[in-house]
Chain A
Amino acid sequence: MAILKIGKMVMGSLFRKPATLMYPVVPRKWQERTRGHIEIVIEDCILCGICAKKCPTDAITVAKDTKSWTIRRMQCIQCSCCVEVCPKKCLDNKNEYTIPSAEKLVDSFEKPAAEPAAAGAGAAAAAPAAAPADGTLKCADTCIYCGICAKKCPQDALTVSRKKKNAQTGEQEGENIWSVNAETCILCGICVEACPKKSLAIE
């Protein structure tokens, strides 16, 4: 009786094409949302290092001295955490899996020189809008010392404080201060975007 019960299914399989696929010889169909590997548009990258800091498996290394962004492919778990935190949105999770390999793949990308004669091949949509990697953060007189920039700063490089009214005497106390620590500032541009008065700029 067992033959009759499963017979229909077995007969169906005899005349159907195999349910399996000879991967990777036969390429598989990717879904739109498939998370396969991380890709970077290195021209837009400002080497802020937030992706490396947030990566749950420490698969990403960002070297500011050599201006390079490195990913250890086998260590990456495709969680898309770096894509979410990237302030310049230059990271993306693409469909294709990295090819099967017996060695631990490491991909390194070097940021081309800032000159417009972009040496990097295939950098068609390169970054005219990208923030310059060199420069300083400047604050204009329109600043209202709201402190939003300091709250948003991923490096805690900004210090903002403003005058406070003393409840008893009614006098203004303290000073209006806006300062940036040039050593820790990574010129990511998050504060420039967050400023409600548009008084910040990287020059």
Chain B
Amino acid sequence: MSKRTIIPFGPQHPVLPEPVHLDLVIEDERVVEAIPSIGYIHRGLEKLVEKREFTEMVYVIERICGICSFGHGWGYCKSVEGNMGIVVPDRAEFLRTIWHELSRMHSHLLWLGLLADGFGFESLFMHSWRLRETVLDIFEKTTGGRVIFSVCKLGGVRKDIDADGLKEIVKLLAGMKAEIKELTDVFLEDYSVKNRLVGVGVLSRDEAAELCTVGPMARASGLRQDIRLDGHGAYAKLAFEPAVEEDGDCHARCKVRVRELFQSIDLITQCAESMPDGEISVPVKGSPSGEFVARMEQPRGEAYYYSIGNGSKFLERMRVRTPTNMNIPAMVKTLQGCDLADVPMLILTIDPCISCTER
């Protein structure tokens, strides 16, 4: 009869990029139960809507998270634009889509690096982040910022990308494709990497649906769920089919993200080819007085933005629900019965973003 012990895991731990605490109930080397707790970096950003005008709030919302900052800015703008009945010009929607897909690439490359670091493959980690640098350079060139862009505003975008700029982006990404292929082949086919990922933390299709997983986590378990399918932004005009895998283990989650990297390059190329001419923003008049829910497909999954206005410059309430929030129950489920040594892999493969979750 083995003895039960509790091992505290986090908020400071080498594999954790962000603070989450888990109490792991251990029997021998096996995890029986995991009890998560969050609350280490709550900043009260939602409360700030009472003090910041709705136009200035974009800057605050962008800073919810450093990785999906553009998506957060877009989601908030979409919510308030829907609230006020603003129709955003086509060109702005295409530009937003390009930046959003670039964010996805930058997020997935960062995640691949963290995963490699998690299972101790240092050089793979370095190479993932080296490739990510190209994407950050594109961001700096087109928006002026590397991580936080401040380029999305209510009614459109602030900066335009001209035809030469678009050509250059497409050329850079086409050049990156071969390098990404070389890098991701190691993740998908290497024996030692597969040893750590295949068959670990299997989440069946039914469990994934029952636990309301979102994003790559859901798609890796065979759920065809992607908010981009509803055709917001420019997605309605692009050929697009979400990357779905059936296995539901850590390797499948890795595979979904790798496939999404190539998909993003493809979507950006399509955007650049069919970029419409015209205005990049429309003036915003008046104040929001209705209520609206917008949904976005962030790199980590579905995010939800709710805003309700009272006709003044300050929103009555603003709510953001982020993908990690939805994926934590699934993470706890996969942790039950796993080996203690696999815990870092299971936490990493949901791509946790605690800053997003706590806002």
Contacts and interface: CB of A to CB of B under 8 A. Distances in A.
A159 interface: no
Interface in B76-132: 123-124, 127, 130
Interface residues of B, number: 31
Contact of A9 (B150, B158, B182): B182
Closest 3 CB pairs of A and B: A33-B144, A35-B144, A79-B150
A56 B60 contact: yes
A156 to B, nearest CB: 14
B56 A54 contact: yes
A109 B60 CA distance: 28
Contacts of A54: 56
Interface in B123-178: 123-124, 127, 130, 133, 137, 140-145, 148, 150, 158-159
Contacts of A80: 144, 150, 158
A16 to B, nearest CB: 10
B210 interface: no
Contact of A5 (B63, B144, B179, B189): B189
Given A10-B123, A56-B59, A80-B150, A35 B145 contact: yes
A86 to B, nearest CB: 15
A56 B63 CA distance: 12
B190 A34 contact: no
Contacts of B179: 9
Contact of B148 (A5, A13, A77): A77
Given A56-B52, A56-B56, A56-B60, A6 B186 contact: yes
Determine the main DSSP class of A at the interface with B: loop
B144 A1 contact: no
A6 B124 contact: yes
Interface string A117-160: 00000000000000000000000000000000000000000000
B186 A93 contact: no
18 contacts: A1-B190, A2-B186, A2-B190, A5-B189, A5-B190, A8-B182, A9-B127, A10-B123, A31-B144, A33-B140, A33-B143, A35-B150, A56-B52, A56-B56, A77-B59, A80-B150, A81-B59, A81-B150
Given A56-B59, A93-B144, 10 more contacts: A10-B123, A13-B127, A31-B137, A32-B141, A33-B144, A33-B159, A77-B59, A78-B145, A78-B150, A80-B150
A22 interface: no
Query: Size range of the interface on A?
Result: 20 to 34
Contacts of A177: none
A99 interface: no
Interface string B188-205: 011111000000000000
B41 to A, nearest CB: 18
A26 interface: no
Contacts of A1: 190-191
Interface string A1-25: 1100110111001000001000000
Determine the main DSSP class of B at the interface with A: helix
A79 B57 CA distance: 12
Given A56-B52, A56-B59, A5 B145 contact: no
A9 B148 contact: no
A81 B52 CA distance: 13
A8 B186 CA distance: 12
B319 to A, nearest CB: 20
Nearest to B153: A84
Q: Which among A10, A13, A31, A93 has the highest number of chain B CB atoms within 10 Å?
A: A31
A9 B125 CA distance: 13
Nearest to B62: A79
A78 B141 CA distance: 15
B306 to A, nearest CB: 21
A33 B142 contact: yes
A164 B183 CA distance: 74
Contacts of B52: 56
A5 B116 CA distance: 15
